[in-house]
Structure 1
Amino acid sequence: MSTTIKHKLLLIDDKPANLIALKSMLEKPNREIICCNSGNEGLQLLLKEKISLILVDVQMPEMDGYEFVEITKQHPATANIPTIFVTAISDEAQYINKAYDLGAIDFLFKPLVTEITRKKVDSFLKIWDYDQELQKLNEKLVAKNGELEQFANIIAHDLKSPLNNITSLIEFIEEEHILDLKEEATDLFDMVKSSAKSMSKLIDDLLHYSKNVENNEGKESVNILNEVNAVIKLINPNNNIKITKENLNHIIHFQSVAFKQIIQNLLSNAIKYNDKEITEIAIIYDENTQQIAIRDNGPGIPENQAEKIFQMFYTLGQSSRGESGTGIGLNLVRKLAERNEVKVYYNPQYKEGSEFIISDLKPELKTA
């Protein structure tokens, strides 16, 4: 029964006796050990074989170990192959520093100690295995991101199509029946068109965000008050919803689309789950603690569910208005906050309703 080759090792030394000795130390059933007598021969082999680890002698004629490693590190296909120098020259700092500067990962000093040689090689082959696994995972992530981007494009198209239809229908009705419409109806049509336009812009922004913003990139200076006003305009709350804003005219460093999405989710939940005749919401910025509090006069959330509500698909059931959530919104809020290196949490100590805190906000850096 044949053994599957897991690793290929390349040994380079101009003295055949050294190669024989080193090969005998490192032989294992799942390894293929390839030997060659010069740096030039080693470079030729690297073009044909997938090598997991290189052990190269420093002192060789024509091309020494230093020159060999310098060439391999310049080529993308071989730059990441771990390389160990085998040397009898010296363990002086100048030689060691030169090797590390070139990209070597370690040294073996002659005369070689069998057990140390084996353990070092085993360790670096494990690192090679981990690196290969990481590369595979990265390739899968890239493929998944491509699928998600395609999915986002489809969803954006499916969402924008009915919005465009609504806008076109409203414009058609206005053109055909402009003389029959009362002033109140005209105002309502304007509101519908404005909301459809705002939703279309939000979809475009979110699509741009999903394509171009990763981790904590894309931050900019955003005015809290302007962002909150934009969200309130989009939500277009009824007359029985009172929203007060305190001390919001400040600049923070945040991803604009992410910030609006966080505020929109928190405000929408405060409205959806409120059980009072008049919904009261306060949005307050404290520049000393660098946090935003969003408070409402609703029923509040049980303390034992204060953290569960941020889990994907976890819901509190139907609201007093008969609406039910999907359990996605607050999970999205948490993820968007993490991308911006801030925290969002529910404060169970607030007893007059619900209070969500956005903390660790970064104020705009002032330049001299």
Structure 2
Amino acid sequence: MNATNKHTLLLIDDKPANLIALKSMLEKPNREIITCNSGNEGLQILLKEKVSLILVDVQMPEMDGYEFVEITKQHPNTANIPTIFVTAISDEAKYINKAYDLGAIDFLFKPLVTEITRKKVDSFLKIWDYDQELKMLNDKLVAKNGELEQFANIIAHDLKTPLNNIKSLVEFIEEEHLLDLKEEATDLFDMVKSSAMSMSKLIDDLLHYSKNVENNDRKETINILSEVNAVIKLINPNGDIKITKDNLNHTIDFQSVAFKQIIQNLISNAIKYNDKETTEINISFDEDQKQIAITDNGPGIPENQSEKIFQMFYTLGQSSRGDSGTGMGLNLVRKLAERNDVKVYHNSQYKNGSQFIISDLKTS
């Protein structure tokens, strides 16, 4: 925190003597103090000046302190300026509650005590400084995220273009010299194509990851069953995949896109890594525990890898169906879960396959 931050204070009171006394209490080298005698004049000043703190008298003619604050809170440029009421009115609860309802942050009761007045003002100016720094950091973060997404798109394009050229060139050589190629050479060409396709998929996953993790859509009320059905329809499992659903007709607070992405990743992994003739997946909701369990009858995951699988680029190797992942799916699942204030983990105690739990769900 910069100790030399300059602050502008706005003091409003219809009695000039009160303004002189208050200003003398609060004067410091790093402060500019503006005084005025009415709420209307104060509103005009706020249009031109960047104010860090307002101290306003409650009892004034034409526009009292309550009306002044009510107006400032309706405008985005002034709504977040901390405001302290200075008043000689009784400190009864009804007056205090009214002020807080309007958005005031504190009271100073007349006659003012110099030390208390100074300490309260110093404290709220520190809060103002922290708030401004947070806003600045947030603005920088938003700008940086935009730059990163643009950079990611450029890099993805620059990487995928030569990959596509390699794939096309290999296919051309195969077509033109198919009869001349020995079996070993054909195998090598297949390896080159497979590597190019894997690299292309990794680039796509990286782009998908960056866009999904930065998705800031707000939570909404969603129906678990409807969302799961939409994912299953998208995956379109064939006859050797059996998916059962238990007690899913409930609503939770979640980002719809994020929830679908989590469910899709977990179901897709259960299918991809299953080693049984028929893949069996069960999706269930526990009302008491407020959690969803996705269970499969696959080979399971070693207990010592229950957390490692959520690390970026960590994989368990090639799946039983021949393909391999990029190690980003489960990391994305965890990031999206954290964005929605829930947890996703692998239940290492489940021994008949794999079980992933989405816990701490907020029902609605």
Q: Does structure 2 conserve the Cα–Cα contact (< 8 Å) formed by 1:296 and 1:354?
A: yes
Distance 1:141 1:215, change over 3 A: farther
2:282 partner letter: I
- Per the alignment, do residues 83 and 321 of structure 1 end up closer, same or farther by CA in structure 2, a change over 3 Å counting? same
1:296 paired with 2:300, answer: no
Structure 2 counterpart of 1:133 = 133
Residues 297 and 69 of structure 1, relative CA distance in 2, 3 Å threshold: closer
* 1:184 equivalent in structure 2: none
Query: Structure 1 residues 316, 27: closer, same or farther in 2, change over 3 A?
Result: farther
Q: Is the 8 A contact 1:343 1:358 kept in 2?
A: yes
After TM superposition, the structure 1 = structure 2 runs for residues 317-356 of structure 1, keeping only pairs within 5 Å, are 324-338=324-338, 343-356=343-356
Residue segments in structure 1 that go unaligned for 5+ positions in a row: 164-198
Amino acid at match of 1:228: I
1:216 is matched with: 219
**How far off is 1:8 after superposition?**
1.0
Equivalent residue, structure 2, for 1:230: 234
Code of the aligned partner of 1:87: T
The residue number in structure 1 matching 2:279 is 281
Question: Counterparts of 2:305 and 2:320 in 1: how far apart (Å)?
Answer: 18
Q: What letter corresponds to residue 105 of structure 1 in structure 2?
A: I
Calculate the TM-score normalised by the size of structure 1.
Answer: 0.66
- Determine the structure 1 residue equivalent to 2:36: 36
1:124 paired residue number: 124
Counterpart amino acid of 1:246?
T
- Structure-2 change in CA distance of 1:249 and 1:82 (3 Å): closer
Q: Report the CA distance shift for 1:111/1:141 in structure 2 as closer, same or farther (over 3 A).
A: same
Whether contact under 8 Å (1:231, 1:263) holds in the other structure is no
TM, length-normalised to structure 2:
0.67
Q: Could you tell me how far 1:62 is from its partner in structure 2?
A: 5.0
Equivalences for residues 141-152 of structure 1 within 5 A:
141-144=141-144, 146=146
- Give the fraction of aligned pairs with identical amino acids, expressed as a percent: 73
Q: In the alignment, which residue of structure 2 is the partner of 1:106?
A: 106
1:130 partner letter: Y
More off after superposition, 326-335 vs 214-223: 214-223
- 1:69 and 2:73 aligned: no
* Residue 222 of structure 1: how far off its partner (Å): 0.7
Gaps of 5+ in 2: 165-200
For 1:222 and 1:311, locate their aligned partners in 2 and report how far apart those are by CA, in whole Å.
30
Contact 1:295–1:356 (Cα < 8 Å) also in 2: no
Distance 1:145 1:279, change over 3 A: farther
Cα offset for 1:223? Answer: 6.3
**Paired residue secondary structure (2:22):** helix
Q: Which residue of 2 aligns with 1:27?
A: 27
Deviations 1:42-91 (A, max 9, x none): 33332222111111223445544344334433443223222212222332
1:92 to 1:122, Cα distance in 2 relative to 1, 3 A: same
Matches within 5 A, 1:121-200: 121-144=121-144, 146=146
Contact (CA 8 Å) 1:54, 1:81: kept in 2 or not?
A: yes
2:18 aligned partner? 18
Secondary structure in structure 2 of the residue aligned to 1:355: strand
Identify the range of structure 1 (29-38 vs 90-99) with the bigger mean alpha-carbon deviation.
90-99
Quote the RMSD (CA, aligned, Å). 4.5
Aligned pairs, how many?
Answer: 316
Q: Secondary structure at the match of 2:220?
A: coil
Give the structure 1 partner of residue 309 of structure 2.
Answer: 309
